A and B are shown apart, each in its own frame.
Chain A
Amino acid sequence: MGLTLCKTNMAAASPDSTRTFQRDVEEDESQFGSTLCLSSSYYSVFVVRLAIMIMLAILVGLLTLLTWHITRVYTTRSLKTLAYGLRHELLQRPLLRMWNILNSTVEVATTQVKLSESVIRRYNKPAASQADQVEQLYQVMKELTWALFASRKALNSITLSYRNGFVQAFHRNHRSNNTYYIYSDLTNYSIATSYSVNLLSSHQGWNDQSIHTNMSAIWYREPLDPTTGDKTAKAAPIPPDELINIAGISQVPDGTASWHIAVSKYTDSPLLSAALPVWDASHKSIVAVVGVTTALYSVGQLMKELVEFHSGHIYLTSQEGWLLATSTNTPLLMNSSSGPKLMMAVDSQESVIRSGAEYLSRAYGNKLPPSQDVHIESARLVNRLYYIDSFFLNLKRLPMVGVIMIPRQYIMGKVDEKAFKTLMILISASVCILLVGWFCIFILTNGVSKEMKLRAALISHLDARRRAEASNNYKSQFLANMSHELRTPMAAVIGLLDILMSDDCLNNEQQAMITQIRKCSNALLRLLNNILDLSKVESGKLILEETEFELGRELEGLTDMFSVQRINHNIETVLDLSDDMPKVVLGDSGRVLQIFANLISNSIKFTTSGYIILRGWCETVETESKKRESYLHPKESWCAQKLKRKREAAQGKICSKKDNKMMLWFEVDDTGCGIDPDKWESVFESFEQADPSTTRLHGGTGLGLCIVRTLVNKMNGEIKVVKKSGPGTLMQLYLLLNTPAETTKQHYQLNFKDHNLTVLLALNGRMTRLIMTKWLREKGVQTHEASEWNELTLNLQDFFTNDNSQMAESETHESNLGSSIFIIIIDVGLLDLSTELWKQQLNFLEEYCADRASFAWILNHDTSKVVKAELRKRGHLLMVNKPLYKAKLVQIIEAVIKRDRNLHLQTPVADHEFHEIDSLQSPSASSDESEKLDNDSCNAIRGSEYFSRGPLSQSTLSSSCADYIHVNLEDDVSILSKERSSTKSYNEDKEGGAASSCKAVNEQKRPLEGLCILLAEDTIVLQRVATIMLEKMGARIVVVGDGIQAVDALKNKSQSNEHSDAKALPYDLILMDCQMPKMDGYEATKEIRRWECGSGWHIPIVALTAHAMSSDEAKCLEVGMDAYLTKPIHCKLMVSTILSLTKGT
């Protein structure tokens, strides 16, 4: 019951397990394709299972066999011994009986002989009358013989044949139960002859012929009463064939007893006859022969009785094989023409006996092993198995063989049956055990195999993970190596651009273009760096820098850059930063820009027409945390709120330490295809795009927004997609950034109200116009708008007719307040450039307001040279590139105001100068201006102008300008360096500085004049190169080979210097290789900084390293180095870095 239950359970469970396994396998296949491993383990499990089962089977089989063997063998053996005994016993008894018969026969014969001898001796008196004597003798002998014969019932006959041929015999016919006295006719005998003993003795025995002659004698048979011996009938002569066997003299040729088997026609059974001679008194001659025959019938009878119970057979044969007695009733004699004859055992009518005899004769031939018993255990006779045993009875003259055949069944039948049953039971039991065992093994190993499969799967998973990790490692490694390889060509491109920019024979347009290329190259380099850092982002090793940077300026640069890409599209890019944004913030400018670059490029990708607005505004942490909550929370889940609360708690801690934390909000708003609301979250996942078809349409990997979110989160901010009215996407994000305390309040302090400004914005772009108008109006500037040429002319006409009257009225008024300034900002796109009409349009404009208004032109990047040249020719020198944003607007207005002030001076320089507004951060500006200022006498004035403008237009003042000015106006160094120190950042130096320094090198060959630099570098080649480079720049170089020497050099020098000048450090700067023998750059720097500690000194240390990952940079800065240069040394970059560090102090 339990078993079946179990089985059903098993059956129910097994499909499940196989299915899960299959699924596992499928997963494996799909994931790793490593089924080989699994299947091999599966097969090994299978084989093991099979092996265990086979072993169990063998064990159980052996046990079964052993049990069966033991139980069977012992019983069989004991039974066999018993059976042997039995058979022996069984055979022994008939043999004994035979022996008895023989004995008794011999006894009788001997007795007869003795009696005869005595009688004959008594009557053998020569004196007595012969006839009477002989008669008397015969009478006595008859009586004596009768007595003996009567006493022995078993006797068949006793014969007494005298020498003279007279025969006396008693014969008992068992069949008819008659007893006869047989005698021969006396008349034929001569007594005389019967006494011729001498003759006999001389003859040495009887002549056989005497017998034969006797045959002619007449025989008489006298029936007797079997008990009394009285004559019951008259003697009658009998024919010779009725004669019984009479022992004759021939049977005792040597005078000793003899035995033989005889047959008679009166009995069925053979007869045993013994013959003994009767000697005369002198023992010299045989007077008579006594023969005794005994029927062997009783032996057969006994054997029958004996074996009846066993249903076996016994027979006795003579040595020659004549059958003497059997346990059956079959006749032992064969009737032949010459009377009954003995038959051979093989001729017996009993089939068993016959086949047994045949078996024996087959096995041993005719010769049975003499005096050796034969035991055959299983002879198949007549379809039955028999035991055959034969015993040899060695009687003198009559050796006999007894054979007993007992059916095996009788003795072993029960045992065999039992054995068979036991075997059956054992086999069935072992089969059951086997099945149960197999079942158990299956169940047990099933668990094991399942576990093994799981383990194999786990191992393969681990393997795969290890491989994945390894490949990830390789990727990082690859990136780390590639960074170097990628930077090199980029450096080449940038370097070539620098060279090109320093070329004097370029015109302004080319300059502008190269500047754009330069910007884009920088962007590409930055992008490269970002890609390289992506591995860091992914592994969570991204370290954000904390440096000051001008957020507004960077964003403007970014918009400029994108405007180039966007030019082919019909899209307007607008930068709308509120005035309360801090100008300088602390953070990782690269990462911040990366965020916006990604967002904007993303927007561009999906926007075909319309606009993209980047809005920015600011909230301080304290005030807006509530607002933010109300703003963001309703849409977010409870979980997110919790998370945010945690973060706010964390932020609270930070805020308590640093009060000037700002929350900067940004929005990127576009009119693209938009994102499906249920994808708003998922677009920020890795490799996720809102619509799978976008890859086909727009390309991209879907990594951009993921990086953005990672970065934003890293800056304690959040980003999400916000519902927007109208088409497109609105991404909103905020960043938590620190602001340096001193610059927090430095917002634009613009006030154009004083100048009575009027601005006419004639722009194509609706959003730009809208935003600019709004902003200008807030600032108290009168603003008019026009979106196309006709509107513009209409506006102008309107305006100037009004204005004319106004001007007429308020002539005096104006002179007091300063003339009202009218600025017309026109997009070149408004002109009809496709035809020649645009020149007329320009004429029209000039006609109208050349003397009253200032023109500022917004150029496209692809605006043709002709147009530009024409504009310049006509004196329209204020030109800016698209897009227009506040800073540019401010520039335009300020330039106009300034020109308005300087109008009376009529300096052409100022005119020239206005042109530069265009370039803002571009180094080309400096080249342009410097080129012109070289010949200019008023550079001092100009310089001071810059400084006076400093607080206002700091963002426009690139470090390159500062560099230049510093070189030219050494008197003003102190002022300048003050300003520089406030704006200094490594980023600037790196990105913009190269160009500027290049410029500076061109301008003056030895920018490092007077500096003393300690170079710690172990590679001789590098030592030499760097030395020459620096020496060419005018610096004095001290070279040391390792960190220890560097530290020592510094210490020794400063000690020796202490006497003369306690304040000065021996070196202005240290260039420190990072990897050096004995003491590496990091250690040396730490050592130096320790040594400096307390002295108030800070010697600038610049790292030189062949590694290019920013983590190395971080490490350098961590140990106290001030800047970081990668090998191979880039001359210009090095110079600019050195300058920025040394001049700053």
Chain B
Amino acid sequence: MEIVGQLQKQFVDFSTSLNHEGFLDEQYLQLQKLQDESNPDFVCEVVSLFFDDSEKLLNNLATALQQQVVDFKQVDAHVHQFKGSSSSIGAQRVKNMCVAFRNFCEEKNLDGCLRCLQQLKHEYFLVKNKLETLFRLERQIVEAGGTVPVIG
């Protein structure tokens, strides 16, 4: 029981820090609220969807930017999609990066785009790590027989 308490505390701290550091915003909390008995793994499902989608998009972006003639419209569409999905799960920093990225796209600034892509990847992997940590904690809590505390 003590372990559960500790884990729960850790979980709460971690979630709060994620919130404070701007990795996740209230949209994520909304997602968590949507999770209930009928959809026990909803957040996890959505987030893994997001991971799949993001990796695909990042690959697309990388190949699109490596072309001889870069189709900025195409890149912009990808980034837009990325922005939509990231804002839907509340990955705020990724979303902000996307906003910056789109500006470079509009300027047709290839250097800026490439730089942004790097940062975007970085942010993405950061948030991915954080989320995975979060889920691991969650799983541990459940395994230990506790309930996942509700944040927000």
Question: A interface vs B, CB < 8 Å?
Answer: 477, 481, 484-485, 488, 492, 495, 1018-1022, 1024-1025, 1028-1029, 1032, 1073, 1075, 1077, 1106, 1127-1129, 1131
Q: How far is the CA of A492 from the CA of B19 in the complex (A)?
A: 13
Interchain CB contact under 8 A, A1022 and B84: yes
Q: How many residues of B contact A (CB 8 A)?
A: 29
Specify which chain B residues have a CB less than 8 angstroms from the CB of A1025 in the assembled complex.
31, 34, 46, 88-89
The residue in B25, B26, B83 that gathers the most chain A C-beta atoms within 10 A of its C-beta is B26
Specify which chain A residues have a CB less than 8 angstroms from the CB of B53 in the assembled complex.
1019-1021
Closest A residue to B34 by CB, please name it: A1028
Closest B residue to A1024 by CB, please name it: B46
Closest A residue to B46 by CB, please name it: A1024
Interchain CB contact under 8 A, A1021 and B34: no
Specify which chain B residues have a CB less than 8 angstroms from the CB of A1077 in the assembled complex.
77
The residue from B25, B30, B85 contacting A1021, defined by CB atoms under 8 A apart = B85
Interchain CB contact under 8 A, B34 and A1106: no
The residue in A1020, A1073, A1075 that gathers the most chain B C-beta atoms within 10 A of its C-beta is A1020
Specify which chain B residues have a CB less than 8 angstroms from the CB of A1029 in the assembled complex.
34
Interchain CB contact under 8 A, A1022 and B88: yes
Closest 3 CB pairs between A and B? A1021-B85, A1021-B50, A1022-B88
Interchain CB contact under 8 A, A495 and B46: no
Using a CB-CB cutoff of 8 Å, which residues 102-144 of chain B contact chain A? 103, 106
Specify which chain B residues have a CB less than 8 angstroms from the CB of A488 in the assembled complex.
25
Closest B residue to A1129 by CB, please name it: B88
Report if B71 contacts A (CB, 8 A): no
Query: Given A1127-B87, A1127-B88, is A1020 in contact with B106 using a C-beta cutoff of 8 Å?
Result: no
Q: How far is the CA of A1022 from the CA of B50 in the complex (A)?
A: 9
The residue in B26, B27, B49, B84 that gathers the most chain A C-beta atoms within 10 A of its C-beta is B84
Specify which chain A residues have a CB less than 8 angstroms from the CB of B52 in the assembled complex.
1020
Report if B13 contacts A (CB, 8 A): no
Interchain CB contact under 8 A, B87 and A1106: yes
CB distance from A500 to the nearest CB of B (A): 13
The residue from A492, A1019, A1032, A1131 contacting B88, defined by CB atoms under 8 A apart = A1019
Q: How far is the CA of A484 from the CA of B26 in the complex (A)?
A: 14
Interchain CB contact under 8 A, A1020 and B99: no
Query: Given A481-B103, A1020-B49, is A1028 in contact with B88 using a C-beta cutoff of 8 Å?
Result: no
Q: When each residue 19-56 of chain B gets 1 if its CB lies under 8 Å from chain A and 0 otherwise, what string results?
A: 00000011100110010100100100110011011000
Specify which chain B residues have a CB less than 8 angstroms from the CB of A1021 in the assembled complex.
46, 49-50, 53, 84-85, 88-89
Closest A residue to B83 by CB, please name it: A1106
The residue from A1028, A1075, A1127 contacting B39, defined by CB atoms under 8 A apart = A1028
Q: How far is the CA of A484 from the CA of B103 in the complex (A)?
A: 14
Interchain CB contact under 8 A, A1032 and B34: yes
Specify which chain B residues have a CB less than 8 angstroms from the CB of A1022 in the assembled complex.
84-85, 88
Would you list 7 pairs from A and B whose C-beta atoms are within 8 A, ordered by A residue? A1020-B85, A1024-B45, A1025-B34, A1025-B89, A1028-B34, A1073-B84, A1106-B80
The residue from A484, A492, A1024, A1128 contacting B99, defined by CB atoms under 8 A apart = A484
Interchain CB contact under 8 A, A495 and B26: yes
Q: How far is the CA of A1129 from the CA of B26 in the complex (A)?
A: 11
Specify which chain A residues have a CB less than 8 angstroms from the CB of B27 in the assembled complex.
1128
CB distance from B123 to the nearest CB of A (A): 16
Q: How far is the CA of A1032 from the CA of B90 in the complex (A)?
A: 19
Q: How far is the CA of A484 from the CA of B92 in the complex (A)?
A: 12
The residue in A1018, A1029, A1075, A1128 that gathers the most chain B C-beta atoms within 10 A of its C-beta is A1128
CB distance from B150 to the nearest CB of A (A): 13
Query: Given A484-B99, A1106-B84, is A1075 in contact with B50 using a C-beta cutoff of 8 Å?
Result: no
Specify which chain B residues have a CB less than 8 angstroms from the CB of A484 in the assembled complex.
99
The residue in B85, B96, B103 that gathers the most chain A C-beta atoms within 10 A of its C-beta is B85
Closest A residue to B82 by CB, please name it: A1019
Q: A-side binding surface: helix, strand, loop or mixed? A: helix
Specify which chain A residues have a CB less than 8 angstroms from the CB of B83 in the assembled complex.
1106
Query: Given A1020-B49, A1024-B45, A1025-B46, is A1128 in contact with B85 using a C-beta cutoff of 8 Å?
Result: no
Specify which chain B residues have a CB less than 8 angstroms from the CB of A1128 in the assembled complex.
27, 87-88, 90
Specify which chain A residues have a CB less than 8 angstroms from the CB of B45 in the assembled complex.
1024
Closest A residue to B25 by CB, please name it: A488
Q: How far is the CA of A1028 from the CA of B41 in the complex (A)?
A: 11
Query: Given A477-B106, A1075-B77, A1075-B80, is A1019 in contact with B85 using a C-beta cutoff of 8 Å?
Result: yes
CB distance from A1135 to the nearest CB of B (A): 13
CB distance from A1043 to the nearest CB of B (A): 14
Q: How far is the CA of A1106 from the CA of B84 in the complex (A)?
A: 7
CB distance from A1075 to the nearest CB of B (A): 6
Closest B residue to A1104 by CB, please name it: B84
Q: How far is the CA of A1028 from the CA of B35 in the complex (A)?
A: 8
Specify which chain B residues have a CB less than 8 angstroms from the CB of A1073 in the assembled complex.
84
Interchain CB contact under 8 A, A1018 and B87: no
Q: How far is the CA of A1106 from the CA of B79 in the complex (A)?
A: 12
Q: How far is the CA of A685 from the CA of B36 in the complex (A)?
A: 57
Q: When each residue 49-81 of chain B gets 1 if its CB lies under 8 Å from chain A and 0 otherwise, what string results?
A: 110110000000000000000000000010011
Interchain CB contact under 8 A, B42 and A1028: yes
Specify which chain B residues have a CB less than 8 angstroms from the CB of A477 in the assembled complex.
103, 106
CB distance from B81 to the nearest CB of A (A): 5
Specify which chain A residues have a CB less than 8 angstroms from the CB of B49 in the assembled complex.
1020-1021, 1024
CB distance from A445 to the nearest CB of B (A): 42
CB distance from B121 to the nearest CB of A (A): 18
CB distance from B128 to the nearest CB of A (A): 13
Q: How far is the CA of A1106 from the CA of B76 in the complex (A)?
A: 13
Q: How far is the CA of A1129 from the CA of B27 in the complex (A)?
A: 8
Q: How far is the CA of A130 from the CA of B4 in the complex (A)?
A: 188
CB distance from A479 to the nearest CB of B (A): 13
CB distance from B37 to the nearest CB of A (A): 11
CB distance from B76 to the nearest CB of A (A): 10
Specify which chain B residues have a CB less than 8 angstroms from the CB of A1024 in the assembled complex.
45-46, 49
CB distance from A1132 to the nearest CB of B (A): 10
Specify which chain B residues have a CB less than 8 angstroms from the CB of A495 in the assembled complex.
26
Query: Given A481-B99, A484-B99, A1024-B49, is A1127 in contact with B84 using a C-beta cutoff of 8 Å?
Result: yes
CB distance from B61 to the nearest CB of A (A): 15
Q: How far is the CA of A168 from the CA of B125 in the complex (A)?
A: 149
Specify which chain B residues have a CB less than 8 angstroms from the CB of A1075 in the assembled complex.
77, 80-81, 84
Closest B residue to A1106 by CB, please name it: B84
Q: How far is the CA of A909 from the CA of B93 in the complex (A)?
A: 52
Closest B residue to A1026 by CB, please name it: B88
Q: How far is the CA of A488 from the CA of B84 in the complex (A)?
A: 14
Specify which chain A residues have a CB less than 8 angstroms from the CB of B81 in the assembled complex.
1018-1019, 1075
Specify which chain A residues have a CB less than 8 angstroms from the CB of B106 in the assembled complex.
477
CB distance from B73 to the nearest CB of A (A): 12
Closest B residue to A1105 by CB, please name it: B84
Closest B residue to A492 by CB, please name it: B26
Q: How far is the CA of A1028 from the CA of B47 in the complex (A)?
A: 13
CB distance from B31 to the nearest CB of A (A): 6
Closest B residue to A495 by CB, please name it: B26
Specify which chain B residues have a CB less than 8 angstroms from the CB of A481 in the assembled complex.
99, 103
CB distance from B72 to the nearest CB of A (A): 15
Given contacts A1025-B34, A1128-B90, 10 further A-B contacts (CB under 8 A): A477-B106, A481-B99, A485-B99, A1018-B81, A1019-B53, A1021-B49, A1021-B50, A1024-B45, A1075-B77, A1075-B84
Q: How far is the CA of A1129 from the CA of B106 in the complex (A)?
A: 25
Specify which chain A residues have a CB less than 8 angstroms from the CB of B90 in the assembled complex.
1128
CB distance from A503 to the nearest CB of B (A): 14
Closest B residue to A1126 by CB, please name it: B87
CB distance from B86 to the nearest CB of A (A): 8
CB distance from A1039 to the nearest CB of B (A): 12
Q: How far is the CA of A403 from the CA of B26 in the complex (A)?
A: 125
Closest A residue to B26 by CB, please name it: A492
Q: How far is the CA of A1077 from the CA of B81 in the complex (A)?
A: 10
CB distance from B77 to the nearest CB of A (A): 7
Q: How far is the CA of A1129 from the CA of B30 in the complex (A)?
A: 10
Q: How far is the CA of A481 from the CA of B49 in the complex (A)?
A: 26
CB distance from A124 to the nearest CB of B (A): 135
